[in-house]
Amino acid sequence: MIYLEKRPQPAKALSYFTPVLAVLITMVAGGLLFAVLGKNPVEAIRTIFWDPVFGEFAFYYRPQLLVKGGPLILIALGLSLGFKAGIWNIGAEGQYIMGAVAGAGVALALYPLEAWWIFPLMIIAGALGGWAWAMIPALLKVKFGTNEILVSLMLVYVAENFLKAMAIGAMKNPEGFGFPGSRNLQQYPSAHNTEVIAGSGMHWGVAAAFIAAIMGYILLNRHMLGFQIRLTGEAPRAARFSGVNPGRLVLFCMGTAGALAGLAGMFEVAGPAGQITTGFNVGYGFTAIIVAFLGRLHPFGIVLAGLLMALTYIGGEAAQSTMQLPAAAIQVFQGMLLFFLLAVDVLTNYRIRITLGEAA
Amino acid sequence: MLLKKRTFLAGAATVAALTALSTGAALAQDKTKVGFVYVGPINDGGWTQHHHESALKMVEAIGEDKVELVYQENVPEGPDSERAMTQMALQGADIIFSTSFGYMDPTLNVAGKFPDVKFEHATGYKTADNMSAYSARFYEGRAVQGTIAGHMTKSNIIGYIASVPIPEVVRGINSAYLHAKKVNPDVEFKIIWLYTWMDPAKEADAAKTLIDQGADVILQHTDSTAPLAAAKEAGGVIGFGQAGDMAEYGPSPRVSSIIDNWEPYYTSRVEAVMDGTWESHSVWEGIDTGMVGIGEISDVVPEDVKAEALAIKDAIAAGEYHPFTGPINKQDGTPWLAEGEVADDGTLAGMMFYVEGIEGSVPQ
């Protein structure tokens, strides 16, 4: 018989090992899925995990990993602070949109002026846009005790409609023959989010993500506020006795998450995307939730998780176009990753005991 | 051991990368590699499905031994599409079709990086030496549809489910209205904007709302069959297939359809690449080349109406009749086209105004 026995304390070493285990199980289960679909499983897994990093066209894919992973990492870092303290901001997608709209709005309002201060101003506007959008659920929670999960999630849909209104209305390219979509900021030098090192894929947003990871680490490990965040998550009662102000914590965590998501949106619209369009957001805000947990809510774990998630996207796309795997199979594959992560998490809280013969 | 293997692979990758970059698509290949980038799933029953079916027919027409088809579905517009196209180009695609308006700037970016690969972008307006733009004159089909609708309505109220406020959709509304009005001066259009190309739930709601407002003919510029299902449920209401024939809803409520047929264009463009005669262009094809197809008009439509609709279709195909022929005034009553004057393509391409008689305003 196989038993699950609750551990007195979660196994710390295992909690670092389980993400790796989850990835391995995903590879096996995903391989089975691909085999059932009539594709060579080894080739599929190699196309997804190996080729983008070491394959023939790695020179193109490696920078793309940073481009795709950058916004995921930036958003997930912000979310992880709240998640650690039991504050559930599910609406990063909306904050990402509002940051992009605010940042692009500054650029489009100033077009065609060329000045060095435009890009910094866009960064501030992007962070403020995301922050302000996150403040809505935060303030409602602090003042009226509303549920931040619902409010932040619902505000995603509001933001999406706002984005559409901007793309076909106020921000529409006046030289675009009536088609939706703003001017392309890639063609506006003062507003373009360029690569810090040409050809590396490392645009300013990716740089910001790495800086944010270091800051996050310092905050959580060397700062009183970080201690309060961890304490609130692990022992809410003890936190209250030790003088943590829960309202202040909600405002801080939601605000930081919103500002980072807004930054991610701003860097994306000014760089890789270039335009405010009706379909500008592609789900980074939601995927970042997976990244945050896959990274164990640890700043450096999130960096690795973000890059891994980017790899499954990029490799998954490659598998689609080279092996004609259906897009849905790739999505199932990505879903498996989270599923198995949660499943093997059982091992950190429980231990498996195998006994022979009758159960006692 | 592992280290050695890695070093070897890295070395091989560099060499291969350089080869790929220097020779690009000229890389010796027996088959012509054709890439397609789709915005939706290939079985969406609408826009993407018809591009994909046309692509498959193109392969069939030219021969599987001569063409290799690669595609990627569900590609979001923006940087992800740029990567999808780059990926195809790196892997030796000779020609890449990007089949959604939002791929325009990404296609232009990738086209700049791969001068030897040909790019074809659907429904946009930007071109380059190795990037064409192609689109269909769906408004020609709307002229036929409007004629049938004007004759068939008894309540004189025609409902129109509009998708996204861009010139293509506005042109369609205007064309349908002008031709319905021509055969039935009392006709009135009620228009609902959905801001989406496909959302069955919203489309069904819109159809029901329009039917409640007295519409007995529903025209749609959205891609799902939901409005036809709603018409069927309501009874006594007719509609038209959009993008596909939607024949399963015939003979009523579906009385005819506007069909996207990209196959002739795809075949000719891929063949042009094979012959080495491909050149960048910006085309806008209609009923004449078959890019816009009119689905069979069902028996629910009286013979004389059917004959009239087909006559308009034939006149458009023969180039004898243009759906936007004056006199036509703009909504505010200012003259647009004088008697006998025909709209120029430039004005049509950017058409964001209603013609006289339509109520409401184009969302801006």
SS (H, E, C) chain B: CHHHHHHHHHHHHHHHHHHHHHHHHHCCCCCEEEEEECCCCCCCCCHHHHHHHHHHHHHHHHCCCCEEEEEECCCCCCHHHHHHHHHHHHCCCCEEEECCHHHHHHHHHHHHHCCCCEEEEECCCCCECCEEEEEECHHHHHHHHHHHHHHHCCCCEEEEEECCCCHHHHHHHHHHHHHHHHHCCCCEEEEEECCCCCCHHHHHHHHHHHHHCCCCEEEECCCCCHHHHHHHHHCCCEEEEEECCCHHHCCCCEEEEEEECCHHHHHHHHHHHHHCCCCCCEEEECCCCCCEEEECCCCCCCHHHHHHHHHHHHHHHCCCCCCCECCEEECCCCEEECCCCECCHHHHHCCCCCECCCCCCCCC
Task: Please give the pLDDT value at position A358.
Answer: 55
Test mutation, B83, B90, B109, B194, chain A, max A CBs within 10 A: B83
Residue B29 banded pLDDT, cuts 50, 70, 90: low
Residues of A in contact with B351 (CB under 8 A): 178
Residues 6+ apart with CB under 8 A from B125: A177, A179, B104, B133, B282, B349
User: How far off is chain A from B349, nearest CA to CA, in Å?
Assistant: 7
Between chains, do A57 and B90 touch, taking CB under 8 Å as contact?
yes
Q: How would you class A13 by CB atoms within 10 Å of its CB: exposed for 0-12, middle for 13-18, buried for 19 or more?
A: exposed
Chain B residues near residue A268 by CB distance under 8 angstroms: 79
pLDDT at A15: 75
| More confidently predicted of A18 and B315 | B315
Once rounded to an integer, what is the mean pLDDT over residues B297-319? 95
A248-258 burial, b for 16+ CB within 10 Å, e for fewer? ebbbbbbbbbb
- Say whether the peptide bond before residue B253 is cis (omega within 30 degrees of 0): yes
Residue of A nearest to B83 (CA): A64
- With pLDDT > 90 as the criterion, what percentage of chain B qualifies? 76
Query: HSE (CB half, 13 Å, CA atoms) of B125?
Result: 14
In angstroms, the CA B2 to CA B4 distance is 5
Q: Where in chain B is the domain with CATH 3.40.50.2300?
A: 15-136, 139-260+292-349
CATH superfamily to which B139-260+292-349 belongs: Response regulator (3.40.50.2300)
Cβ contact, residue pair B79, A169, below 8 Å: no
Indicate the residue type of B55. A
* pLDDT single digits (tens) B266-282: 999 999 999 999 999 99
pLDDT of residue A218: 94
CA-based nearest residue in chain B for residue A187: B105
A322 vs B76: CB contact, 8 Å cut-off?
Answer: no
Best mutation site among A48, A53, A57, A325 for testing chain B: the one with the most B CBs within 10 Å?
Answer: A57
Do residue A169 and residue B364 have CB atoms under 8 angstroms apart? yes
Determine, for residues B164 and A178 on separate chains, whether the beta-carbon distance falls below 8 Å.
no
pLDDT of A214 reads 96
Residues A159-187 as b/e (b if ≥16 CB within 10 A, e otherwise) read bbebbbbbbbeebbbeebebbbbbbbbbe
CA distances from A158 to A116, A125, A162, A164, A344 (A): 33, 19, 6, 10, 36
Helices A58-84 & A246-270 angle (0-180, nearest 10): 160
Cβ-defined contact of A321 to B74 (cutoff 8 Å):
no
Chain A residue whose CA is closest to B196: A278
Check CB contact under 8 Å for B72 and A278.
Answer: no
Q: Which residues in chain B have Cβ-Cβ distances shorter than 8 Å to A280?
A: 78
Residues of B within 8 A of A170 (CB-CB) are none
CATH architecture group of domain B15-136:
3-Layer(aba) Sandwich (3.40)
| Single pTM value for the model | 0.85
> A163 Cβ partners below 8 Å, 6+ apart?
A97, A100, A101, A276, A278, A280, A281
The residue that leads in pLDDT, B113 or B20, is B113
CB contact under 8 A, B10 and A54: yes
Higher-pLDDT residue of B114 and A347 is: B114
pLDDT, one tens digit for every residue, chain A (360 residues): 778 888 877 777 777 788 888 889 999 999 999 999 999 999 999 999 999 999 888 899 999 999 999 999 999 999 999 999 999 999 999 999 999 999 999 999 999 999 999 999 999 999 999 999 999 999 999 999 999 999 999 999 999 999 999 998 899 998 887 788 999 999 999 999 998 888 888 999 999 999 999 999 999 988 889 889 988 888 888 888 888 888 999 999 999 999 999 999 999 999 999 999 988 999 999 999 989 988 889 999 999 999 999 999 999 988 988 888 888 898 899 889 888 888 888 777 788 888 776 544
C-beta atoms of B91 and A327 within 8 A: no
- The residues near B104 (Cβ < 8 Å, ≥ 6 apart) are B121, B124, B125, B126
**Encoding tokens for residue A170?**
């106020």
Domains, chain A, ranges and CATH?
Answer: 40-324 (1.10.3470)
Mutate to test the interface with A, among B80, B88, B171, B282 (most CBs of A within 10 A): B80
Choose among B13, B73, B87: nearest Cβ to A58.
Answer: B13
How far from chain centre, in Å, is Cα B245?
14
**Nearest CA to CA, how far is A293 from chain B (Å)?**
24
- Give the best residue of B9, B18, B72 to mutate against chain A (max A CB count within 10 A): B72
Please compute the mean of the pLDDT values over residues B4-26 and round it to a whole number: 41
> With 70 as the cut, is the pLDDT of residue B22 above it?
no
Highest mean pLDDT among A325-339, B15-29, B178-192: B178-192
ipTM, interface predicted TM-score of the complex? 0.85
Classify residue A333 by burial, with Cβ atoms within 10 Å: 0-12, 13-18, 19+.
buried
pLDDT for A357 = 62
pLDDT tens sequence across B41-52: 898 878 899 999
- The Cα of A77 is separated from the nearest Cα of chain B by a number of Å equal to 22
> Shortest CA distance to A305 belongs to which of A81, A18, A43?
A18
CB contact under 8 A, A321 and B91: yes
Partners of residue A158 in chain B, C-beta under 8 Å = none
Interface residues from chain A to B (CB-CB < 8 Å): 54-60, 64, 67, 161, 164, 168-169, 177-181, 184, 186, 268, 272-275, 277-280, 282, 314, 317-318, 320-322, 324, 326-328
* Interchain CB contacts (distance < 8 Å): A and B: 110
Nearest by CB to residue A178, choosing from B102, B167, B195, is: B167
CB neighbours (10 Å) of residue A102? 24
Q: Which residues contact A114 (CB under 8 A, 6 or more apart)?
A: A189, A190
Mutate to test the interface with A, among B87, B121, B351, B362 (most CBs of A within 10 A): B87
